[in-house]
Structure 1
Amino acid sequence: MLHEDKIINPLMNDKKVKGYLKKIKDFDKNTYEHCVRLSILSMYLAYKNSFSQEEIKMLGYAGLLHDIGKLDIPIQILHRKRKLTDEEKKIVQEHPRLSFLRLNDPEFQEIRKIIVAHHEFQTKSYPRTNSDRRKEQRLNIERRKKDNKIRKLAEILSICDMYDALASKRCYKKPLNKEEIEERIRKQFTGQKKYIRQILNVPKDLSRC
């Protein structure tokens, strides 16, 4: 059995992580709360799929820190109540890459590779497209093994991020109900279909639906 609090509390109390989380919370409380929820959801889904303790822990860190790059995006753009312009969308879509650049600490080298890919398992992927990723996978065997591990973890982070974003109230939208969430995810998520069923059936204490 996964005890989320016992796992996430030590992660949140890590000195560097705590510093990053304070910056996120001071910048935008909604983003901070989303990061905590995403960390718990990702660890739960990884546990359900028999990932190793190390992988579960990596996803916990990735969930907490995945949106650190939003600190480099003007808050007024993130809080727009109207539809974003194409230029504003491009700015927001830089946040995975900005998160990657911010997390340059030696201990976060694998974590940031998971984070930069958390919007790359959807029909309109960014910052890299699906074809960009395929080119990068034509590497030597050792590198490919490592990339496959990162891909596996990023896929979990991606669907959990998509789910929580759809289920949450934002300044520009109301939370969607479970049927609406399922319809959106089935249309947009390009990863393994089993994760769709699993994320739609998370326990109520982890779900916002």
Structure 2
Amino acid sequence: MELEERLEQRCAEVGIAPNHLENVKNFLAPLRTYHLETYEHSIRVGLKASQIAEYMHLNPKPALYGVLHDVGKSKIPLSVLDKKVGFNSQDMEVMKNHTLEGFNILLAGRYMFSAALAVSHHRFQPNCYPLILPGLPFPLNDKTRGAITLYSRIVSIADHNDALRRKNDRFGGKDMSLEEGKRIMISLNKDQERLIEELYRAGVLT
């Protein structure tokens, strides 16, 4: 099944209404045209995030909106997105802008929760960014703040897992063992070691 078909099916399963699915597609459309690899990565991350949430006995619907986590990369130069060798600190500074770009795109489209996920999903890694989060146009209660943190964390794990698999493909297409993949995932997400162990045992992460 094609990724887009899987996304449509999953949206139906978790109760995302057709009009919201259409909006998701519209947000993703520029990325699909601009950088297909990132577009496909985005869908995989959203699908995986929804699986992780379901495993945790959480509502998978907010996690599925993780498909929009990288929409801001449509504003990043292709010379940076496509760089496989020699990616340096200057390139990284440019790449970091995608979180704020995505936040602004989604905020303008009135997808506030998705905007918060987009700007927060790199806040859990050793060199987290952005250092200062932009404010939303209205105050958030503690429950909403907690949900943003929780689902951003889930999207971050799904993002790391997909990026790890894609990175491995660049090295001669050799398969990385589950144990090696798990070791790297834990090193990137030390605060979630127990969850990651469970997700690998359950086959949610591969």
Band the TM-score falls in, shorter-chain normalisation: 0.7 to 0.9
CA distance in 2, matches of 1:93, 1:11: 29
Deviation at 1:68, TM superposition (A): 0.6
The yes-or-no answer on 1:24 pairing with 2:24 is: no
Q: Which residue does 1:57 correspond to in 2?
A: 61
Kindly provide the amino acid, as one letter, of the partner of residue 60 in structure 1.
L
Deviation at 1:106, TM superposition (A): 5.7
CA distance in 1, matches of 2:64, 2:38: 16
Summarize the Cα distance change of 1:173–1:67 in structure 2 as closer, same or farther, 3 Å threshold: farther
Deviation at 1:179, TM superposition (A): 2.8
Summarize the Cα distance change of 1:196–1:70 in structure 2 as closer, same or farther, 3 Å threshold: same
Summarize the Cα distance change of 1:192–1:183 in structure 2 as closer, same or farther, 3 Å threshold: closer
Kindly provide the amino acid, as one letter, of the partner of residue 74 in structure 1.
P
CA distance in 1, matches of 2:167, 2:42: 14
TM-score (structure 1 length as normaliser): 0.78
Q: How many residues align?
A: 191
Per-residue CA deviations over 1:48-71 (Å, capped at 9, x if unaligned) read 11113xxx212111x211111001
Kindly provide the amino acid, as one letter, of the partner of residue 31 in structure 1.
T
Q: How does 1:151-190 map to 2 (within 5 A)?
A: 151-169=149-167, 177=176, 178-190=178-190
Q: Which residue does 1:90 correspond to in 2?
A: 93
CA distance in 2, matches of 1:6, 1:27: 25
> After TM superposition, which residue ranges in structure 1, 4 or more long, deviate above 4 angstroms?
9-13, 169-176
The yes-or-no answer on 1:7 pairing with 2:28 is: no
Summarize the Cα distance change of 1:202–1:89 in structure 2 as closer, same or farther, 3 Å threshold: farther
Q: Is the 8 A contact 1:159 1:195 kept in 2?
A: no
Structure 1: tracts of 5 or more residues without a match: none
- Computed over aligned residues only, the root mean square deviation of the Cα atoms, in angstroms, reads 2.9
The yes-or-no answer on 1:36 pairing with 2:43 is: yes
Structure 2: tracts of 5 or more residues without a match: 1-5
Summarize the Cα distance change of 1:106–1:86 in structure 2 as closer, same or farther, 3 Å threshold: closer
Q: Which residue does 1:74 correspond to in 2?
A: 77
Q: Is the 8 A contact 2:50 2:64 kept in 1?
A: yes
CA distance in 2, matches of 1:109, 1:190: 29
Deviation at 1:4, TM superposition (A): 7.3
Q: 2:111 is paired with a residue of what secondary structure?
A: helix
TM-score (structure 2 length as normaliser): 0.79
- Which segment drifts farther, 149-158 or 99-108? 99-108
CA distance in 1, matches of 2:149, 2:30: 28
Report percent identity of matched pairs.
Answer: 24
Deviation at 1:174, TM superposition (A): 5.9
